[in-house]
Each structure stands twice: as C-alpha cells, then as structure tokens.
Structure 1
Amino acid sequence: MLVSAERICLVLRSRGIPAANVEGYKPLLRSMNQPDHDILSFHLRRIVMGADDEASLKFVAELTELANGNQISTTDPVLASIRPFTAPATRSKPVAQERPERSIARPQVMVPSASSLRTEKEREVVRKKHYVYGQRCAYMFELDWLKARPHQANQKRTLTVEAAMQIAPRSYDWERRISFQFTLLELPQFTAALLGKLAPNQVWRASNHGRARDKFFRAKEQAESLFMKLEQAGVIWPVRVGQEHRYQILTLALEALRYNDDNLDTPTIIQLCEASLPRVPGI
C-alpha cells in the first residue's frame, strides 16, 4: 500500500512534528517504489504509537527537508535515492543561491516551529504525556491546549486523553485512536478522582463530547486502581490505571491547572479540586 502525502502531514502534525506542504511530498513519493513506501509506513506507525524512535524521527525530518526543497546529507538509502522537491514555475532565488547542505538538529524534531507557538510558556511545555498500557487498550494522557477557544488571548491548558485498541501483543492501533479533551469544568473533577477522592462505588462522568455529542468518559475506584472507560457510539475503550501511574498523570493535570490559575499555589488548587467533585447522596 502506497503512503499518501496527506497521511504524512496528518501523522506529523498530530504529533507536533513540523511538516512540509502536501505538494512537497508528492513528487518524492512518486519516485519511491513499494519497498520504500513500506519503510516510510513503518516509520509513520512508530511515530503514531508515540515510540519517540530516533531513527523514525530522523527519517521523517530528513524527508521533510527534501519536501521543503532543501539539499541534505543522509546515510539512509531510501532518502539518498530521491531528489529534493522543486516547486513549479519560477523560484525567487536561483539554484546557486539556495541554502547549503546542513544537518538536522535532532532535539528540535518534536518541537513545532516558533511561529506556531502562541506564548513563551508553550515553548517550555510541548507534548508532555504519559502512557498507560492495558490488556485491551492503551491510553495516552497529554498536556494540551484547550481546543474550544484556540484564538483566545490567554488560552487555557487542559488534558487530552487518547485511547487505542490492542491489535497484537504490545501493539496498539493508534491510527484509529479516539481522542477526548477535558473541559475547564471537568479537569478539576478528574484531578480529584486521580487524588482518590471518589466515594465507594461513585462513578465520575464527563459526557456529550464531540460533534455528535457521542463521546463519554467514566472513572471509578476499583481494587487499588482507577478504572477508566472511553466510549463513542457504543464502542468502549477500557483501561485500568494502577497506583503507579497516578503521580505521572497528576503532574500533567496540576501543571495545566497551575497554568490556568497562576495566582494559586498547589495546595489551594488541590483543595479546590476536591471541593469541585460531585457529592454522592448520603455521604
């Protein structure tokens, strides 16, 4: 199966990796044979799964440089066999004045370009996340920006949860993942649930998300763990979050809450989170 330029852009941008224009990838892909496409598909799957594989990140970074029309020095046989993209019509600079060959700085691969970052604080916190792997599903908890108000001057932070079904041992279908983002009202309550403040048999719910309002999230204390379920259109993605994972997820949630209310200290935020949790009748 051949990889499309649109798929490359979708995968890279969904993981916060700089991508070239779609048209820049197309001539490169046309010059690649089926085995080359298989290698590219493998690297994209590794990125989708959140593996942070250095070889895969290097491959897509160098491919993007070629798609941007830049000459590169590479040891990869697939990339060495294709030429950089040249835009049709006239170019603003003659070929002789194009940028010289340069190496790709690996630490910058996962960071969006400066023009896409809204604030200095965003540069400090980019794509912080934690994974929980279960028997049927895997969850990724990620420090994110609130998508409901993308153009707000003082944009708020929250957590996004992504879930993927297991398709083989230690392999999850991240390309068909479901995504769920907590609102500003839900994030403090979810934080309280992580802190173990749910009453016995209490189920915390976040409902009616998505364009079709068919996404639901549930959390319940169960046998020294927090049992979570994401649901959309009748399909359920369940995972059991053990005690050992609470700290990592809590640090992400508290970082978002501290950013949103930087005039409050952490103990005060925790108290307010506990107070925001719905009360169970009789308790």
Structure 2
Amino acid sequence: MNQAPSAEAVVNLCRQRGLEGFDLRKLKASFANRANDERFTTDLILNYKAVAKGVDDASALHWFSEMKRATNEEPIPEANRSPRRTNIGPSYKAFGNTAALTFELDELRSTDANEQPIKTVAIEAARSNGPNSYNWDTKVIIQLTRNELPLFMGAMLGMRTAWEASGHGQVHNKRLKVARQEQGVFVQVTYGSNVMSVRVDHGVAFHVVALCMQALQAQYPHLSPDAILTMCSYVCAGQ
C-alpha cells in the first residue's frame, strides 16, 4: 500500500483489532487537514500496514490509539471557533512582559450521554507587540480535554509542583506547562517554536480555579465541590 488509507478503512481495521471509539467525522476532517503532511501520511501508511499484518503490531495500535485520543478531543481550530463561546461564562486575563493569557469557560465539540455540550476551560495566549499591547488577532488557543481539566486545576492549586499537556492542535504541536512558584503560577503555552510565558498571580489563579470548578461541576453535578477537590488531590498525587 503506497496510498494512505481512508478514515473508514482505519476505523474498520482498528475495530477488528479491538480498538474502538473513533469519531469518524472528526477523523475525516483531521485526515483532510493533514493531506499535505508527508510525515503524518508516511506514519499512517506504515502503522496501518503493521496492524493489517498483525505481526508485532502493539506499537502501531498504540499509535492509532494516541491518534484517536487527540482527534476525538481535538480543540476547535482558531479560525473556526464560534463567536458564541465568548458568552458561555466569565473570563480572566493575566499579563506579562512578553505575552498575555486569557482563561475562560468553554465547551468541547464532543457531547455527553444526553447530547449536551461538555464544559471545559480554554486558555488563549497572545504575544506582546508593544508596551501594554498584545496581538490577540494571532492568539493561540488550547482547550483542556476532560482528562486534563482536573490535573490543570490541581496544578493551579499547588496539588503538584508542575504539570504539562502536549499534543494539542491540528498537527499536535501545541503544549501547555504549569508550575507553581512563590509569587504565582508559571503558565507557558507553546505553539511550534512560538513560546508564550506568563506568571499568573495567586489572586488571578483563584478565579481560574473557580472556572475549572464550574466546568467540573457542570460535568458532574452529583459531586460536591469538596468531593471534586479531594478527587483532584488524589489524581494529582498519582501523577
């Protein structure tokens, strides 16, 4: 096979090997967006062949598993994000010398069992283009997945000293780093070679944590805030 398999072929083959849960619509869109990515296409063909042969295909299945995770919870591309997201809830900003951040309540493109939008928190980063001025027109957005949200909140609260998430974006080249410091929380957003870092004061961090709590309570209305905090502390301790 020298031609990349279709999204349908990948889903069918992985299902035969016990790997299910792909969002076919999102997978098709991802394949279309990466049609000119030669490295991705080569990896796709090689891993598809390995799984099809069924010989020592554990690493190939892992590759498809990671692709499924990233695709199913892919952040909405900046150019396609709906303006209504600004009306979901409050947002808070943090400013640094070279960059600024916005934290706001957002919704994943996936829905829950009742087909309701899943609340999360999005982080927008913009580079400085002068004193007290930031280029929000070219902002970089990282939308926390369901699995990342409690870990991010725990890191903001100091339940662990540092945490990071990678693999975001259409070509999986966005990364988020969080580290507790004496005077605040160091938050860094990386997009390719573009690095934007801001120290978030503890006062602002409080509001960011409140956003996380709001999103988690929307996801799990049967859990009390104390239960959510306790669970976050346990999962952060295990990281």
TM range (shorter): 0.5 to 0.7
Q: Look up the match of 1:93.
A: none
The alignment-based identity, stated in percent, is 27
Report the Cα offset of residue 223 of structure 1.
2.6
Letter in 2 for 1:143: L
* CA–CA distance in structure 1, aligned partners of residues 110 and 191 of structure 2: 19
* Cα distance, 1:224–1:129 mapped onto 2, change above 3 Å: same
Q: Match for 1:204 among 124, 146, 163?
A: 163
Q: Does residue 182 in structure 1 map to residue 144 in structure 2?
A: yes
* CA–CA distance in structure 1, aligned partners of residues 167 and 237 of structure 2: 17
Q: Look up the match of 2:185.
A: 226
* CA–CA distance in structure 1, aligned partners of residues 158 and 96 of structure 2: 20
Whether the aligned pair in 1 keeps the contact of 2:165 and 2:175 (CA below 8 Å) is: yes
* CA–CA distance in structure 2, aligned partners of residues 224 and 155 of structure 1: 36
Q: Look up the match of 1:136.
A: 98
Q: Does residue 195 in structure 1 map to residue 169 in structure 2?
A: no
Give the structure-1-normalised TM-score.
0.53
Instruction: Give me the CA root mean square deviation.
Output: 2.5
Q: Does residue 237 in structure 1 map to residue 199 in structure 2?
A: no
| Structure 2: gaps (5+ residues) | 1-77
Whether the aligned pair in 1 keeps the contact of 2:125 and 2:140 (CA below 8 Å) is: yes
* Cα distance, 1:133–1:150 mapped onto 2, change above 3 Å: farther
Letter in 2 for 1:174: W
Count of residues paired in the alignment: 162
Return the structure number with greater relative CO, CA threshold 8 A, min gap 6.
Answer: 2
Q: Look up the match of 2:129.
A: 167
SS at the partner of 1:175?
helix
SS at the partner of 1:212?
coil
Runs of 4+ in 1 over 2 A off after TM superposition: 13-17, 147-152
* Cα distance, 1:215–1:188 mapped onto 2, change above 3 Å: same
Q: Look up the match of 1:277.
A: 236
Which segment drifts farther, 208-217 or 145-154?
A: 145-154
* Cα distance, 1:150–1:179 mapped onto 2, change above 3 Å: farther
Report the Cα offset of residue 148 of structure 1.
4.1
| Structure 1: gaps (5+ residues) | 1-9, 18-109, 112-125
Q: Look up the match of 1:157.
A: 119
* Cα distance, 1:231–1:148 mapped onto 2, change above 3 Å: farther
Letter in 2 for 1:245: V
Letter in 2 for 1:256: A
* CA–CA distance in structure 1, aligned partners of residues 111 and 189 of structure 2: 23
* CA–CA distance in structure 1, aligned partners of residues 198 and 122 of structure 2: 16
* More strand, by proportion: 2
Report the Cα offset of residue 278 of structure 1.
5.3
Q: Match for 1:255 among 206, 214, 219?
A: 214
* CA–CA distance in structure 2, aligned partners of residues 148 and 129 of structure 1: 22
Question: Which structure: larger Rg?
Answer: 1
Whether the aligned pair in 1 keeps the contact of 2:106 and 2:119 (CA below 8 Å) is: yes
Letter in 2 for 1:258: Q
